[in-house]
């Protein structure tokens, strides 16, 4: 492929909306929030997931659900039997879930914070929804103490449980806390993954360990949700290297409803819809992401805001032919239009 070319520009594709959700329940926040502190959000996922699926069906949205592997299990006994033999030895021990498994309940009925097989099946049974992975254990690729060997073991466990429960191998991956590391992308390639969610190019979004975060970066990201601090989130997908997995970069985190910031919702909506229109007119990709637990509280308000975003997309679909694709479908399209892509399988 000629240097400097991008998929959307080279092939003249219509603009594309990509939606991905980090489905993790308490596994994704256990090092920063106790169940008791976040109970309402976590329990609210039981209503949020069906509501989101219904909304996606209504608007014809293809979505990638990047799911933590530990959520697939029916019972704790089943979970314990499937844990990887090699586990990350984080320097900060609290980052590992393996030391606190004694606190996990017996099954989904007794512990809806750590099990979700019924929700995973419901998502998988819904048309146009892709089950991706958020790693097996909500694995942190940039934290001290772990290695690529540990990461491979974790991903192999995630693949194994998805195969056992759904008869499929995840092809798309979202790195927990957006800690993307090129060495770990290489591991994903060797295991047959075809797409991952990369980070926006702005310095405020660059991957880094949790303790290297700063109040300034967080403040910039918050402001960027309302005004274009980092410029447009719509951009082409770069296919110059001809390697899978393909980086399907994030554009915007769909921040949940915040009553104190309600007066700024018009700015938040305009920030997203302006970028959607740019993607539609330029043939770019706009990648919107969030967590189901973000909708666990204020579900009505969050769905109302999402519907306004998707109504804009529906209009652009009619006027500009904009499409909705999963992360995996974006990668499949890249492979189909340009032969010679290389994977690890």
For 167-206, write each residue's pLDDT tens digit.
Answer: 999 999 999 999 999 999 999 999 999 999 999 988 888 8
Measure the CA–CA gap between 226 and 315, rounded to whole angstroms: 22
Q: What pLDDT, on a 0 to 100 scale, did the predictor assign at position 309?
A: 98
Q: What pLDDT, on a 0 to 100 scale, did the predictor assign at position 30?
A: 96
Q: Does domain 7-337 have CATH number 3.20.20.370?
A: yes
Q: What are phi and psi of 163, to 5 degrees?
A: -65, -45
Region of 195 on the Ramachandran plot (φ > 0 left; ψ -120 to 50 alpha; else beta): beta
Measure the CA–CA gap between 174 and 257, rounded to whole angstroms: 23
Of 172, 168, 203, the C-alpha closest to 185 is: 172
pTM, two decimals, is 0.94
**pLDDT tens digits, one per residue of 46-86:** 999 999 999 999 999 999 999 999 999 999 999 999 999 99
For residue 240, name the pLDDT band (cuts at 50, 70, 90).
low
Statement: residue 4 has pLDDT above 70: no
Is 4 in contact with 241 (CB distance < 8 Å)? no
- Both tokens of 123, joined, read 């998502």
Of 344, 345, 275, the C-alpha closest to 312 is: 275
CA angle 236, 239, 240 (to 5 degrees): 115
Measure the CA–CA gap between 2 and 113, rounded to whole angstroms: 49
Q: What pLDDT, on a 0 to 100 scale, did the predictor assign at position 10?
A: 38
For residue 5, name the pLDDT band (cuts at 50, 70, 90).
very low
- Both tokens of 111, joined, read 């512990």
Instruction: Find the mean pLDDT for residues 6-23.
Output: 73
* H-type alpha helices, the chain: 7-11, 35-59, 76-81, 117-124, 148-166, 182-190, 215-224, 265-282, 299-320, 327-337
**pLDDT tens digits, one per residue of 197-231:** 999 988 888 888 888 888 998 899 999 899 989 88
Measure the CA–CA gap between 266 and 11, rounded to whole angstroms: 34
Instruction: Find the mean pLDDT for residues 110-131.
Output: 98
**pLDDT tens digits, one per residue of 273-285:** 999 999 999 999 9
For residue 8, name the pLDDT band (cuts at 50, 70, 90).
very low
Statement: residue 2 has pLDDT above 70: no
Measure the CA–CA gap between 53 and 55, rounded to whole angstroms: 5
Sign of CA dihedral 241, 243, 248, 249: negative
């Amino acid at each position: 492929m000629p240097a400097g070319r991008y998929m959307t520009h080279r092939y003249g594709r219509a603009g594309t909306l990509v939606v991905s959700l980090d489905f993790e329940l308490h596994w994704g926040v256990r090092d920063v929030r106790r169940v008791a502190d976040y109970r309402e959000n976590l329990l609210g996922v039981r209503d949020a997931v069906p509501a989101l699926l219904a909304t996606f069906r209504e608007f014809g949205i293809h979505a990638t659900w990047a799911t933590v592997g530990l959520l697939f299990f029916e019972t704790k006994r089943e979970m314990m039997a499937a844990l990887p033999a090699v586990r990350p030895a984080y320097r900060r021990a609290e980052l590992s879930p393996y030391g606190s498994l004694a606190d996990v309940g017996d099954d989904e009925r007794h512990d809806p914070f750590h099990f979700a097989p019924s929700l995973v099946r419901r998502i998988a049974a819904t048309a146009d929804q892709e089950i991706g992975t958020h790693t097996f254990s909500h694995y942190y690729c940039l934290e001290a103490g772990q290695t690529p060997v540990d990461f491979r073991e974790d991903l192999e466990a995630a693949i194994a449980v998805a195969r056992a429960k759904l008869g499929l191998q995840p092809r798309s991956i979202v790195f927990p806390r957006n800690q993307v590391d090129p060495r770990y992308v290489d591991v994903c390639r060797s295991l047959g993954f075809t797409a991952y969610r990369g980070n926006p190019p702005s310095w405020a979004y660059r991957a880094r360990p949790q303790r290297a975060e700063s109040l300034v970066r967080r403040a910039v990201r918050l402001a960027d949700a309302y005004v274009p601090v980092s410029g447009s989130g719509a951009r082409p997908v770069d296919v110059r290297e001809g390697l899978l997995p393909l980086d399907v970069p994030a554009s915007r985190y769909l921040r949940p409803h915040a009553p104190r910031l309600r007066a700024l919702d018009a700015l938040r909506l305009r920030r997203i819809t302006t970028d959607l229109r740019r993607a539609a007119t330029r043939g770019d990709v706009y990648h919107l992401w969030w967590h189901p637990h973000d909708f666990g509280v204020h579900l009505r308000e969050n769905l109302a805001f999402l519907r306004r975003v998707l109504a804009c997309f529906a209009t652009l679909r009619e006027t500009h032919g904009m499409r909705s694709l999963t992360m995996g479908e974006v990668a499949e399209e890249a492979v189909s239009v340009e032969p010679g892509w290389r994977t690890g399988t």
